[in-house]
Structure 1
């Protein structure tokens, strides 16, 4: 049997005992008394080591107990499947539904809008003209379509714009190639006649009094110089360099003053006035990031809409010069290009791009799909017309009738489909009128008096 070690000895020092000084320190410590029951140096060190070891064991045991208890409690709360996480499951991408396509004008494959409309079962009084390789008048109540008399265009020519004039409408005819020569036709109920041809005509601008001005561009690449020709005549006005006309009322022109680099955005720039009689620039009106003109009124948004601020919409009456400004809560990057007004100018209809997460260009080569939206300028409410989805490459033709029916013309490749809508309806109505004609791009549509 192993012999147990002797217990530590206790030595009681006399009160007058002094500790020897530390060698080489040159100093001595004051005398320290050891009271009865206190340990000497060696014994004291041993007990300190034992106490520290015991304390370490107690602390470690406490930590171990806490850890085991926490793990046991967590195991009670977690389901068995979560205790051993499974490898991540990657869901396959949903198959993308391609847009339907049809061969359209100039042999181009066009993406066809997706429509879910209800049948029209009420009288509307709507009559419209629609341009293509001819000009057709459609009566939605009579379900009839009539071609303009005497109008025959070649296979490579198309009506791209229709504007109202005095006792007639004027049609801008363009070829497949944008740089080709254009012509202007005057269309009445009984006849069609050539007014101007063999020029590059950018657009037609009504003057609000029954007259029409043709915008002639000599150099397409630099968009200049620009000349205005009055139809049927005789006025001709050469505009200052850098001025792009967008609206005319009498002798007063409103244009965008911008550099050649800004021509990629034809609806942005500084808005200025120009007097056609005196040939002088007037005061600056404002600055637009997007604009539209309809029913004698110019509307523009001064800066791109953002999530942090409302859109500021400016309205300018071309006849009186009266201006109004109001903020609206509109989606990001809202553009009002191609927008049209109703008869009392309280509703603005325009194509509106959907907001979605993902790439800006999708598998078909263009951006997000479009809706047709109507902004109520008096209340600020925004209505999106359901049952209609437009590809980003195919904008609709829009016009309001005198009774505030919104007419939507859709390019279906080899024909044009007409839809109507009124405020409060969840989706458009289908009158069953389809025009069997080929459109160059966006179908030009013009509401006629009932």
Structure 2
């Protein structure tokens, strides 16, 4: 039986009673700035966990052709969305109660897994299973030191060292199997096949210094890739990281290496980047990249707003998704479809989630109906065929 596996957590927001129709980007307020001039303020709205959310600024159009995109979307409820028609099916998820959030991480078409943060430090976590008839049930609770990792086909439960009496992290398949002890000071961030990607901090008195690979079956260290780096993405048998992006003395570069080994390739980047995803065929990576200048509307923010970029790995060509400007420190949900080259984007718009799709050649992204209900950042989604 095909299953979808998720994690659910408690928060403090009631779910809205019905689905909303699309609405345009909010109007921008006018504020006075020094010198007697005026500037528009960045739009905001109430969001999850009682926070004020800086909204994305978007120029989009309804789907003008058939995309075939269907997604499972997380939030204050679990929903299947047909992108072309805007039709939404809310799953009968009685275990995801009002005031809780479920977050989908990855997987298509048979399985999907999830993880997220919590509004309340005392909120319990739970692993959920969604069957092919869309029924939701609880698999097991998760301890505060545990989280889920997935390569799209299997799910693992990783943990980190909790105290001096438990100095080692662990990892184990959620379906059952041996719990493996990880190297001292290793913090898992992703898994590709049977290889864990993470940061190695041998000395607890200093920051993590090595990007490392560890065998999930044995706990043995496979490779130390680079020092003083920022992990960016992992998937399709590859791992990506950046160096020099916050150092004026060296250029910003994106690095790519096969998990199995071989030459490390480098790509120049014009500005700092983070938070990427790899296409299923391994030919593209999408990520966030800083804009060239700050924005007056982001008063008090020292960093510029963000663009969404796609790097074509065989040519090194960098494309910016047009029509989307994200506030500083924003993190959208990003995923590639398995065919046709679509990048699907979920944006946190406070009391709703905006769902868009883009591929090279479009002057602006397509956008389907916005989905009501707050979401715990970042919005999460998977492309699915059922």
TM over 0.5: yes
1:323 alignment partner, SS class = coil
Instruction: Look up the match of 2:254.
Output: 313
Instruction: Look up the match of 1:13.
Output: none
Q: Which stretch shifts more, 110-119 or 161-170? A: 161-170
Instruction: Look up the match of 1:177.
Output: 120
Instruction: Look up the match of 1:380.
Output: 316
* Matches of 2:220 and 2:169, distance apart in 1: 15
2:35 alignment partner, SS class = coil
Structure 2 unaligned spans of 5+ = 1-33
**How far off its partner does 1:260 sit?**
4.3
Instruction: Look up the match of 2:349.
Output: 412
1:439 alignment partner, SS class = coil
Instruction: Look up the match of 2:141.
Output: 197
Say whether the 8 Å CA contact 1:228–1:238 is kept in structure 2: yes
- Taking the TM superposition and a 5 Å limit, the aligned residue runs for 1:290-305 are 290-304=231-245
* Matches of 1:436 and 1:358, distance apart in 2: 28
Instruction: Look up the match of 2:379.
Output: 443
Q: Given the alignment of the two structures, is residue 339 of structure 1 paired with residue 276 of structure 2, yes or no? A: yes
- Taking the TM superposition and a 5 Å limit, the aligned residue runs for 1:253-272 are 253-258=196-201, 259-260=203-204, 269-272=209-212
Could you tell me which of 335, 356, 381 is aligned with 1:399? 335
Q: If the length of structure 2 is used for normalisation, what is the TM-score? A: 0.79
Q: 1:142 to 1:260 in 2, by over 3 A?
A: farther
Say whether the 8 Å CA contact 2:104–2:380 is kept in structure 1: yes
* Matches of 2:163 and 2:38, distance apart in 1: 42
Structure 1 unaligned spans of 5+ = 1-90
Q: Cα deviation per residue 1:325-347 (whole Å; 9 max; x = unaligned)?
A: 33333113x223x2122243222
* Matches of 1:161 and 1:175, distance apart in 2: 14
* Matches of 2:383 and 2:94, distance apart in 1: 20
Q: Given the alignment of the two structures, is residue 239 of structure 1 paired with residue 218 of structure 2, yes or no? A: no
Say whether the 8 Å CA contact 1:256–1:271 is kept in structure 2: yes
* Matches of 2:166 and 2:233, distance apart in 1: 20
- Taking the TM superposition and a 5 Å limit, the aligned residue runs for 1:12-91 are none
Instruction: Look up the match of 1:149.
Output: 92
1:163 alignment partner, SS class = coil
Q: 1:404 to 1:165 in 2, by over 3 A?
A: closer
Q: Cα deviation per residue 1:343-381 (whole Å; 9 max; x = unaligned)?
A: 43222211111122699x952546311111112222222
Calculate the aligned-residue CA RMSD, in Å.
Answer: 3.1
* Matches of 1:323 and 1:179, distance apart in 2: 44
Q: 1:172 to 1:329 in 2, by over 3 A?
A: closer
* Matches of 1:139 and 1:262, distance apart in 2: 48
1:92 alignment partner, SS class = helix
Larger radius of gyration: 1
